[in-house]
Structure 1
Amino acid sequence: MSDTTAPHVASAQRPSHAFATLDNVQLYRVGGKDPRKFLHGQLTQHLDEVTDTRARRAAACNPKGRAYAILLLVGDQDSILLRLPTAIKDSATSQLNKFLMLFRGTDMTPQDESRIFGLWGLETACSLSPEATSLDGAGDVLTLDDGKLIRVPDTAEGVPRFEFWRLSGDRLPDAPEATTADWAAAEISAGLAELDSTSSEAYVPQMLNLQHVDGIHFKKGCYTGQEVIARMHYLGQLKKSLFRLSIDSDQPLSPGTPVIAGDKAVGELVNVVAFDDGHQEALAVLKHAALTSQPWTLEGVDGTLARQPLPYPVPEQEQS
């Protein structure tokens, strides 16, 4: 990737062998007496599923079942490492701390010296450890001397991806450097939504397809928001979910922009990234009923929208 690529614009020549420094996320360590018990009561994931060799996604929700953060978690001996977007880290940790106060001897501390990198391609991961070839599927984790190497979901184009959580030292992957916008484009391609101040507490996790990326454990015990999430699952009440869109427009777009079908709003953009060839891509939460009322447009924006494939099936959309 060129060093002159603007950090807020992704390359239309998508990386397949590169790394990006993800300075838009913050790593935390939850440790002490009861880290798993504390997190188990707040997240959609069963903490038994999170180990030193297995990472899992999870949502943290309010009592109404609306997700205020999506986290990636990894075990580290007696602790749990988790990452949050810097855009919502203060509000998310404030909510979690309300419950952390009930767990004496348990703490959640930012790892300010750590760094997180996004990696494209097995060759890039192998530059950190030849054992990266053992990471066969999303969620597999390799513990290194200086951190954690995590296989994350591939892009829809089939490019293998990893995250390197560097806990110490200054080692970098041996690969060309891409940008955070390139990684945001890869996350959109992989169908992985990220929440910001616009979308935090706006959606039940199933609306973000979290159940299709191993982010919800429907058989675990109680946690904040569980009743709403379980009812939506078992009663089949999901009426909207996450779609991937290509947008033929160079007008600046932002999360929250309404998607229009006919003369009605049928959803809104959740994440969006611009490419250097003038087009944009987005993840949007849309009503399933909108599938019969295409074409879609964006409120106040000239340009056309096209539905793009996700790398995982969403049966709710096809049934609709």
Structure 2
Amino acid sequence: MSWNETLESRGARRNDAGIITDFGHAADELAALASHTVVSPLNQYGLIRFSGEETATFLNGQLSSDVRTLALDAAQYSSYSTPKGRMLASFLVFRAGDDYYLQIASELQTAIQKRLGMFILRTKTKPSDAGAECILLGVAGPDAAAKVAAVTGAAAPAAMAVVHTERATVIGLADGRFELVIPAESAESVWLALLDAGAKPVGEPVWRLTEIRAGAPWITAATQEAFVAQMANMELIGAVSFTKGCYPGQEIVARTQYLGKLKRRMFRMHVATAAQAGDDVFSTEMNGQASGKIMLAAPAPQGGFEALVVAQIASLEHGLHLGSVDGPALSRLDLPYALD
């Protein structure tokens, strides 16, 4: 049975882009997150693999994080920007052997892989699409660590730590979540083992909600070139190095940091109506101009939507509204890390 057939046998349903939306019971899947371990196929992400002895040097000159410091047992967030400092993509970066992997929104992978490849020149590194060889699964919920350990045979790693086992590479994420990077030929057995251990299969919106609650800023097509890294809290999650030297947009990022010109931040919020990435938010003091933009949004178990919203800091005291100054009000929720 193929991987897709395995998922479909459990009731997987997909949207027009091929992303798994649910396993037949979307509302129950959202509700399950609070009390059950859930497992989600992460085909909303792609994987770019870089191979070659000069890979770390090359990536360090392109991405916002210090790739040279990335150990085999660690992961880091990072971003890739225009010369004007606007993010084209965000990544989760990790290693396996001598290769480096960039996890990226799948809709951006082809264009970003091609763009990065244009700057390789004589550097000894080569990008390739690792998506056909590796399957990504996300595991979250109250007993996620124990279930991951039982299935992989190794203790589940702490946040941003990585463990390599015979069955999978396991990446620890914030809020007790885990990503499993599994060879395609082993994906079915790992998936079934997690289900047998009691994990409930869920679609992409549930995992997106966990990313929002963790404050993980993923750039998608709707938000390309909308934000400088610090607007999306990237430096607060270790995705920006201010000491490593030049990369595209570095001057803008450094100026924002050291001259105190940061006027926007990313906040976690709730709104009573549907929202999606790229939607504008407004505030009364902005004279009709948008105060910010939604980066990610997902249905909330309690109703409405939770969202990561990048907005003018000064607008918070005046209130933010979706779509217009008269639109639905957004209420602020906590993030797992402190803002300046």
Answer yes or no: same fold by TM over 0.5: yes
Which residue of the other structure, out of 242, 261, 265, is the alignment partner of 1:241?
A: 265
Contact 1:44 1:217 in 2 (8 A): yes
Could you tell me which residue of structure 2 aligns to residue 253 of structure 1? Answer: 275
Aligned-residue CA RMSD (Å):
2.1
Paired with 2:295 and 2:259, the residues of 1 have a C-alpha distance of 26
Paired with 1:39 and 1:101, the residues of 2 have a C-alpha distance of 13
Which residue of the other structure, out of 139, 148, 158, is the alignment partner of 1:125?
A: 148
The reply on whether 1:150 has 2:171 as its aligned counterpart is yes
Paired with 2:165 and 2:78, the residues of 1 have a C-alpha distance of 24
Paired with 1:115 and 1:60, the residues of 2 have a C-alpha distance of 24
| One-letter amino acid matched to 1:14 | L
Which residue of the other structure, out of 146, 161, 177, is the alignment partner of 1:140?
A: 161
TM (norm. structure 1) is 0.88
Which residue of the other structure, out of 35, 38, 41, is the alignment partner of 2:61?
A: 41
Paired with 1:189 and 1:10, the residues of 2 have a C-alpha distance of 16
| One-letter amino acid matched to 2:165 | L
Paired with 1:10 and 1:96, the residues of 2 have a C-alpha distance of 37
Paired with 1:61 and 1:122, the residues of 2 have a C-alpha distance of 34
Paired with 1:218 and 1:276, the residues of 2 have a C-alpha distance of 39
In the TM superposition, residue 161 of structure 1 has moved relative to its aligned partner by: 0.4
Which residue of the other structure, out of 182, 202, 205, is the alignment partner of 1:178?
A: 202
Q: Give secondary structure in 1 for the equivalent of 2:119.
A: helix
Q: Deviations over 1:125-144 (max 9, x none)?
A: 213334324x23x2110011
Could you tell me which residue of structure 1 aligns to residue 249 of structure 2? Answer: 225
Paired with 1:303 and 1:248, the residues of 2 have a C-alpha distance of 7
Paired with 2:331 and 2:32, the residues of 1 have a C-alpha distance of 19
Q: Which runs of 5+ in 1 are unaligned?
A: 155-159, 316-320
The reply on whether 1:289 has 2:311 as its aligned counterpart is no
In the TM superposition, residue 299 of structure 1 has moved relative to its aligned partner by: 1.6
| One-letter amino acid matched to 2:269 | L
Would you tell me which structure has more helix in proportion to its own residues?
A: 2
Could you tell me which residue of structure 2 aligns to residue 58 of structure 1? Answer: 78
In the TM superposition, residue 13 of structure 1 has moved relative to its aligned partner by: 4.3
Relative contact order higher in (CA < 8 Å, ≥ 6 apart): 1
State which drifts further: 256-265 or 233-242: 256-265
Could you tell me which residue of structure 2 aligns to residue 304 of structure 1? Answer: 329
Could you tell me which residue of structure 1 aligns to residue 18 of structure 2? Answer: none
Q: Percent identity?
A: 26
Q: Which runs of 5+ in 2 are unaligned?
A: 1-9, 11-21
Could you tell me which residue of structure 2 aligns to residue 90 of structure 1? Answer: 110
TM (norm. structure 2) is 0.83
In the TM superposition, residue 268 of structure 1 has moved relative to its aligned partner by: 1.4
Which residue of the other structure, out of 178, 191, 194, is the alignment partner of 1:162?
A: 178
Paired with 1:92 and 1:224, the residues of 2 have a C-alpha distance of 14
Paired with 2:32 and 2:312, the residues of 1 have a C-alpha distance of 31
In the TM superposition, residue 28 of structure 1 has moved relative to its aligned partner by: 2.1
Contact 1:269 1:282 in 2 (8 A): yes
Alignment CA distance shift 1:85-1:146 (3 Å):
same
In the TM superposition, residue 167 of structure 1 has moved relative to its aligned partner by: 2.7
Q: Give secondary structure in 2 for the equivalent of 1:23.
A: coil
Could you tell me which residue of structure 2 aligns to residue 318 of structure 1? Answer: none
| One-letter amino acid matched to 1:106 | T
Which residue of the other structure, out of 266, 282, 295, is the alignment partner of 2:291?
A: 266
| One-letter amino acid matched to 2:283 | A
